Amino acid sequence: MPDRKVVAKELAEIFKIVANPDRIRIIEELRAGEKDVKTLVEVLELPGPRVSQHLSLMRAHRIVEERRDGRHHHYSLTQPDMANWIIEGLDFVEGRLNGVSKVSITKARELWSAQKSNQTIK
Amino acid sequence: MPDRKVVAKELAEIFKIVANPDRIRIIEELRAGEKDVKTLVEVLELPGPRVSQHLSLMRAHRIVEERRDGRHHHYSLTQPDMANWIIEGLDFVEGRLNGVSKVSITKARELWSAQKSNQTIK
DNA sequence: TTCATAATTGCATGTCTTTGCAGATATGAT
DNA sequence: ATCATATCTGCAAAGACATGCAATTATGAA
């Protein structure tokens, strides 16, 4: 199979994994550092099993990694820059909108950009 | 609905649209400038209706735009930087792989980065 | 051991997405 | 008008995803 075809397929897979609102929120939540499942469940207000499923999928694709401490499972981003890359995608969201929800975007960009990762700064 | 939730949803939609090998190849093909459907079909070796469907979806989401010239429909990226953003995602593909397909990635990165857009350079 | 908490797994269900193929439109050439 | 080319639309089948809920495992505390 030609290189570009292979690579397009791999890229599509990454995009597919990120292409979910819950998972995006989880990734942005982990931007500030590792968190355990219960914390994620509370902060994001999502059902436990759902968060667990998402984490399991992302773990399988090495997007997050797990550190166990007693009965707490702490998750963190294996590639913290991914959180920034996702935020960059906001540029293209703005292009699609008819101006209305732009306020939300500006706010969210600030909120997410504010909490800088303690792992990524170089 | 809280801002971050709304934005995560919008972001997820963009990711969903890009999350397809054909569409990624189309976007990277359009990086060098506008092309008509037939050209895309030939270069990418995909069935015509399929390319048409992908273009129609991306048009609906304002990712590409159409310019008609007789019976030829020329498509181009509304936001050419998107092609670069997608390529950046390769960083996270590499993180997932066990070294094998890395050759393909390096090659593809070169191939795609080589053909610079005549619209994006600032 | 027994109980409570943290997290995961399994499964059924409903909903999108992808894909192929046939048929329909539109345009330009003869 | 007729034909060939370029492109699009519609539809059905297959496959992939998301979601809720019940059941299960693992750990620490009483």
Per-residue pLDDT tens digits for A32-65: 999 999 999 999 999 999 999 999 999 999 999 9
Measured distance CA(A88)–CA(B85) in Å, rounded: 8
Q: How far is the CA of A50 from the C1' of C9 (A)?
A: 12
State yes or no: pLDDT of B2 exceeds 90.
no
Q: How far is the CA of B56 from the C1' of D9 (A)?
A: 11
Query: How far B70 CA sits from the closest chain A CA (Å)?
Result: 28
A89 in Cβ contact with B17 (< 8 Å): no
What is the pLDDT of chain B when averaged over all its residues?
A: 88
Q: What is the pLDDT of residue A111?
A: 80
Distances from the Cα of B103 to the Cαs of A1, A10, B108, B113, in angstroms? 13, 13, 9, 15
Per-residue pLDDT tens digits for B21-42: 999 999 999 999 999 999 999 9
Considering only CB atoms, B81 lies closest to which of A10, A11, A91, namely A91
Average pLDDT of the residues in B81-102: 81
Q: Which helix (H) or strand (E) holds B111?
A: helix B102-114
Q: Per the structure block, which two tokens stand in for B6? A: 């709304």
Average pLDDT of the residues in B76-90: 95
Q: What is the pTM of this model?
A: 0.91
Decide the pairing of beta strands B72-77 and B35-36.
Answer: antiparallel
State yes or no: pLDDT of A26 exceeds 70.
yes
User: Would you list the DSSP string of A52-88?
Assistant: HHHHHHHHHTTSEEEEEETTEEEEEESSTHHHHHHHH
State yes or no: pLDDT of B82 exceeds 60.
yes
B113 in contact with A at a CB cutoff of 8 Å? no
Q: What is the pLDDT of residue B37?
A: 98
Q: What is the pLDDT of residue B68?
A: 97
Q: Per the structure block, which two tokens stand in for B107? A: 């090659």
Residues from chain B that touch A109, judged by Cβ atoms under 8 A, are: 7
**Roughly what angle, to the nearest 10 degrees, separates helices B48-60 and B21-30?**
80
**B 12-41: CB within 7 Å of strand D:** 36-38, 41
State yes or no: pLDDT of B120 exceeds 50.
no
